[in-house]
Amino acid sequence: MMKADGCSPPVIAVDLGGTKIAAGIVSAGCEILAREYCPTLADEGIEAIIERVVSAVGRLISRQGMGLSQVCCISVAACGAIDSETGVIAFSPNLPGCRDIPLRDMLRDRLGVKTMLINDANAAAWGEHHLGAGKGVNNLVCLTVGTGIGGAIIIDGRLYTGSSGSAGEIGHMVIEANGAKCRCGNTGCLEALASGTAIAREAAAHVARGEPSSLSEIVAGRLEDITAEKVAFAAREGDSLARSIINQAATYLGVGMVNLVNIFNPEMIVVGGGVAGMGDMLLDPARRVVRERAFLVSAEAVSIVSSQLGSDAGMLGAAIFALQQVEK
């Protein structure tokens, strides 16, 4: 995979999501030496996002008593359609206004360090393939279920990125032709039906209609404060509305997986991201849909598992991606 002699300089890896920026210093042996977090606040625009990334990197190296000259590069895993060759975010539904943004070059110019860019779901899949649940699995699909839904495909041990570098936008496969409006502009996307944003939206709508739920107490009547995490908490406490909403999202997720299983016949589907923290409460209904609807031979061949690397998957995958590029 890469040299891990302990002498090579580390990578600064940044996982840039729609809600949170996570940055870390990662050794050549793939050990995270330090972490830094801050909110994305994506609605404030790309310049503000870049400023937060730069500040997070600055805090990291300062805390470690390092200088930027002591790292081999910066590797950014960002949500959206990414062209890793040119370092451009072509489009990102969860980063409003991010269209044709040369993020790699903008950060390189700000920080003066070699910078690389990869899609966040591709990075998470690469991390899981090398270090996590998908280690040794040559044909797998990775889903990151959080604010949105990202996806990545590994075929014969290689990331499949498509003709223009934007393959794997699994969150934007259409599940319901006339379904909910998605932030990408389409309707009925998997992301609009099964993401953390979708779960929170559905819960708030039901509570607003007066349906009984402990969620109203949990957020003290402030429906805008309902999150997927709070819906999961209510469901674990026995709230029937919360359970129903999660089951609905899991069913949609399962339908998406059926398509993936029938098309790609993977050995494994790895599910990560913040919403995946719900565990079997989310995955068991999805697994059931796959068993019931996918072609039998493909359904029997696939295992559907939770991420082993959790929230570190994107950061570690971005670091591995960078270290492999440096070695070439």
Both structure tokens of 171: 């969150």
Distance CA 28, CA 47 (A): 30
Rounded to an integer, the average pLDDT of 82-94 is: 88
Both structure tokens of 40: 């994305």
Residue pLDDT, tens place only, 35-75: 999 999 988 999 999 999 999 999 999 999 999 999 999 99
Q: Return the SS3 of 114.
A: coil
Q: What share of the chain in percent tops pLDDT 90? A: 85
Distance CA 258, CA 254 (A): 6
User: Can you name the residues that pair with 119 across neighbouring β-strands?
Assistant: 78
Q: What share of the chain in percent tops pLDDT 70? A: 98
* Residue 7 binned pLDDT confidence (cut-offs 50, 70, 90): low
Distance CA 173, CA 191 (A): 8
Both structure tokens of 15: 């996982």
Beta-carbon count within 10 A of 217 CB: 9
Q: Would 11-120+312-327 and 133-307 be classified into the same CATH topology?
A: yes
Q: In this structure, which topology does domain 11-120+312-327 adopt according to CATH?
A: Nucleotidyltransferase; domain 5 (3.30.420)
For 86-125, letters b (16+ CB in 10 Å) and e give ebbbbbbbbbeebeebebbebbbeebeeebbbbbbbbbbb
Name the CATH code of domain 133-307 (choices 3.30.9.10, 3.30.420.40, 3.40.50.410, 3.30.1340.30).
3.30.420.40
| Residue 23 φ/ψ, nearest 5 degrees | -125, 145
Q: Is the pLDDT of residue 267 over 80?
A: yes
Rounded to an integer, the average pLDDT of 297-312 is: 96
At 165 the pLDDT is 80
For residues 94 and 42, the answer to whether their CB atoms sit within 8 Å is: yes
Q: Is the pLDDT of residue 1 over 60?
A: no
Q: Is the pLDDT of residue 31 over 80?
A: yes
Strands (E), 203-318: 268-272, 303-306
Domain parsing of the chain, residue ranges? 11-120+312-327, 133-307
Strands (E), the chain: 11-16, 20-26, 32-39, 73-78, 81-83, 88-91, 99-101, 115-119, 140-145, 149-155, 158-159, 268-272, 303-306
Both structure tokens of 184: 């990408």
Residue pLDDT, tens place only, 172-206: 999 999 999 999 999 999 999 999 999 999 999 99
Q: Please give the DSSP secondary-structure letter assigned to residue 187.
A: B
